Amino acid sequence: MFKFLVEEIDSIMRRDPAARSRFEVALCNPGFQATLFYRLANAAWRRDWHLTARFLSQVARWFTGIEIHPGASIGRRLFIDHGMGVVIGETSHIGDDVTLYHDVTLGGVAPSVDSDSQRNQKRHPTLQSGVIVGSGAQILGPITVGSNARVGANAVVTKDVPSCVTVVGIPGKVVQPAAKREEQPSFVAYGTPTGDLPDPVARAIEGLLDEVSRLRARVADLEAQAKAGGEVDGLAVEPTAEDGSAELPRGKC
């Protein structure tokens, strides 16, 4: 047990430059304290002591502001930085070495009707090992976030995320594929790279502007051909009249 606690504390110190000693982490880090309460509550939950487990999770919520359902499955070395407002649902599954920042929600999307049919059903996300989720991000539904993926701050993710990519925005979109991740450090604070990060909306707009430019060039070319006479797309036309009008193409209707 002592070795397990030391491992958890050391993993936090490696990822949090504000942590200066093991005692400081044990006494002052709400993420570590909430995780300890979760381990106790989860042990009670697995023994079917559901009321005791829920009471322990509520105690942790009162003291830390972090709500972890005792039925969730959490791996080793979870790091919850700051922590206030974090919500982890009952059927969430979290792998090893996962990092969550404050206000992260691992929630469900099932409607609040016919609750009996939803019990013991997978309703919450699965975060595989090495995932980093930035502050305010919402990961909703029984989806999977692949290993070592990054979810940027305030993103809303409702679909599966591949491994080793970066997702940002509402709804979440991949902005950094796995091939580009080799240039990034292994740990990215808040799950959001601060370098030259492409904006998917800006890329879409740039594509539309390029298409408009090509269409304008084509229209200008057709107008020049119409003024000079000859053929436009295989149809003969008369030169433009002095009043600016053009004869209709001499083709079949």
Q: Each residue's pLDDT tens digit in the chain (253 positions)?
A: 778 888 888 888 888 888 888 888 889 889 999 999 999 999 999 999 999 999 999 999 999 999 999 999 999 999 998 889 999 999 999 999 999 999 999 998 876 666 666 777 888 999 999 999 999 999 998 999 999 999 988 999 999 999 888 898 888 888 877 655 555 555 666 555 555 555 666 777 888 888 999 999 888 888 887 777 655 555 555 555 555 555 555 555 4
CA–CA gap between residue 182 and residue 84 (Å, rounded):
32
For residue 200, the tally of other CB atoms under 10 A from its CB is 13
Cβ atoms 30, 12 nearer than 8 A: no
Distances (CA, A) of 204 to 152, 197, 201: 20, 15, 5
pTM over 0.85: no
For residue 35, the tally of other CB atoms under 10 A from its CB is 22
CA–CA gap between residue 118 and residue 123 (Å, rounded):
8
What six digits make up the tokens of 29? 């880090």
Domains and their CATH numbers in the chain: 2-198 (2.160.10.10), 199-253 (no CATH)
CA–CA gap between residue 191 and residue 197 (Å, rounded):
12
Say what the pLDDT of residue 56 is: 94
Say what the pLDDT of residue 65 is: 92
Q: Give the N- to C-terminal CA distance of the chain in Å, as an integer.
A: 86
Tokens 């300890």 appear where? Answer: 36
Cis peptide before 193 (omega within 30 of 0): no
CA–CA gap between residue 100 and residue 250 (Å, rounded):
69
What six digits make up the tokens of 184? 């990034």
Say what the pLDDT of residue 199 is: 63
What six digits make up the tokens of 26? 């044990």
